[in-house]
Amino acid sequence: MSLIDKFKINKKKNYPKNNLRHVAIIMDGNGRWAKNRGKLRIEGHKAGIKPVIKSIKFAILNKIEVLTLFAFSSENKIRPSLEVISLMDLFLNVLNTQIGNLKLNNVRLRIIGDRNFFSKSLRDKINESESLTSKNSGLTLNIAANYGGRWDIIQAIKKIVIKVQLGILNPSNINDKTVSKLLCMSDLPSVDLVIRTGREYRISNFLIWQIAYSELYFADVFWPDFNNHIFKSAIDFFVYRKRRFGGL
Ligand code: FPP
């Protein structure tokens, strides 16, 4: 049974609609999109900017509160250095050209991930972009860059160990809330829906803790071909899912 068939069955049962607050997207398939067109991989990444901008607009129009985009994973660093450098340049360029638009549209930008890897100019630009938009009250846009779910959990564990060493946390009191509140995005609504493009059916070390109960939607396109229609299909799929969070 396909996901769409399942969706139809759920719809018939007339479940109450789910409230969609936080969407996270794994933007995959830029390289293959470019290869299919005889282009360099970086051309695929460049073509991926348009659907990024469209998705942000779509999220604003549809009153989604948080949009989290997986732009560069901790593991992407092992790619050829030319591709990594080009991606960093693209990231800097997107920040330079789009920050005004984000500010104008009341978007609060946050970058999640390990920043130590970035050049000083990129780190400075990230800090500047975040503080320029920090007071905005519309969409919160998280860009996951040099981010990995395991890295996120490890940085939380390190903070927990320090608290234990300082005697301000008793190890027997550690529970899932102790960890959750030290992870990236702990102050934001939990992730309701994860969309992945690129014809792969895995999580690839994205938000592994935060998406324990998220709904998953796999779109059969490469990221540069992602559009509002597909975004809408993912939402249609989500709103009638019966979410049980482990209950009955
Ligand atoms: C995955 O495709 C995509 C990336 C590693 C980079 C994503 C970057 C963008 C969409 C453009 C810039 C966006 C921002 C927010 C600055 P892949 O290279 O793994 O594709 P493949 O699986 O076909 O090789």
> Quick one: pLDDT at residue 11?
54
Nearest-atom index, ligand 1, CA of 95: 16
> Quick one: pLDDT at residue 245?
86
Binding site membership of 126 for ligand 1 (Cβ less than 6 Å): no
Q: Each residue's pLDDT tens digit in the chain (248 positions)?
A: 455 555 554 554 555 678 999 999 999 999 999 999 999 999 999 999 999 999 999 999 999 999 999 999 999 999 999 999 999 999 999 999 999 999 999 999 999 999 999 999 999 999 999 999 999 999 999 999 999 999 999 999 999 999 999 999 999 999 999 999 999 999 999 999 999 999 999 999 999 999 999 999 999 999 999 999 999 999 999 998 988 888 87
> Quick one: pLDDT at residue 79?
96
Q: Tell me the CA–centroid distance for residue 14 and ligand 1, in Å.
A: 37
Write 73-79 long-range contacts (CB < 8 A, 24+): 73/144, 73/146, 73/147, 73/148, 73/204, 73/205, 73/206, 74/113, 74/114, 74/146, 74/147, 74/148, 74/150, 74/151, 74/205, 75/148, 75/204, 75/205, 76/146, 77/117, 77/146
